[in-house]
Amino acid sequence: MATSMALRVGKVDRILDALGDSTRRRIIRLLSTRPMSVSDLAKPLGITVTAVTQHLRILQSCALLTSRKNGRVRMCSLDASGFETLEHWVSECRTSWERRLDRLGGILDEDDT
């Protein structure tokens, strides 16, 4: 379990870097309703198709998105595998925190600022 997390760190880093941009998150939200082409995406985003392509490359490189080119049209859709990787990491973060809290009995409560 510690091993699987270590092996996934590089992946998770790239996923979180990818999701750390609001335009890429808008792309994810658009694609969560239906598959769309590059220019379909560019229109509501209000940016050039070139910019969209650059974002797609990043989302694809960390398995948050898949695409296939039919003729001259590239259709894009979400890829579950990246989200699964992320889901594992988040739940591991949370559970390791909970384990620690159980051991210590909740010493830290609030901040002061």
What is the DSSP code string of 42-97? HHHHTS-HHHHHHHHHHHHHTTSEEEEEETTEEEEEE-HHHHHHHHHHHHHHHHHH
Which of DNA, a copy of itself, none does residue 93 bind (CB under 5 to 8 Å by kind)? a copy of itself
Which of a copy of itself, DNA, none does residue 16 bind (CB under 5 to 8 Å by kind)? a copy of itself
Question: Toward a copy of itself, which CB reaches closer, 105 or 109?
Answer: 109
Min dist. Cβ of residue 111 to a copy of itself (A) = 5
Q: How far apart are CA 36 and CA 59, in angstroms?
A: 14
Min dist. Cβ of residue 74 to DNA (A) = 4
**DSSP structural state of residue 33:** T
Question: Toward a copy of itself, which CB reaches closer, 4 or 100?
Answer: 100
Residues at the site binding a copy of itself, with contacts judged by CB under 8 A? 13, 16-17, 19-22, 25, 28, 32-35, 60, 66-69, 75, 77-78, 80, 83-84, 86-87, 90-91, 93-94, 96-98, 100-101, 107-113
Q: How far apart are CA 56 and CA 39, in angstroms?
A: 12
Q: Are 52 and 74 in contact (CB under 8 A)?
A: no
